[in-house]
Amino acid sequence: MPPFEVILTDSAPVPSSGYSQALRWGDMIVTSGYLGTHPDGSGVVKGGFEAEVRQALDNIKAVLEAGGSSMANVVRVNVSLTDVNRFADMDAIYREYFSDPYPTRNTIGVKE
């Protein structure tokens, strides 16, 4: 038996291939990365960049809560932006989900 517990909720997109939504190892929860997609698997939310950022963070929040944790316990965030010019927009929404002391964060620009 693995030394970790699988966390799975239908409040976030269910994995469609070989990965878990999250794993608990002792007191630590490690989540997969999330896009701004509907939990029911029907695709990306409508409403543009801001709606997608909020949905991605809502997906992470749902998985953490399914594991008995919260956004307040997050210590590391990796953000990938297809348009780095939207960093300030993303950061404003990010601050709605996280507060001081903020998690450490790595933000990179990626090709779409």
CATH no. for residue 13? Answer: 3.30.1330.40
Q: Which domain holds residue 77?
A: 5-109
- CA gap 53, 57 in Å, rounded: 6
Alpha carbons 22 and 69: distance in angstroms, whole number:
12
pLDDT band at 1 (very low <50, low <70, confident <90, very high): low
Q: Which residue has the tokens 């990796």?
A: 78
Structural domain count of the chain: 1
Q: What is the pLDDT of residues 34-80, one digit of tens each?
A: 999 999 999 999 999 999 999 999 999 999 999 999 999 999 999 99
Phi, psi of 30 (to 5 degrees): -115, 120
What mean pLDDT comes out for the span 24-41?
A: 96
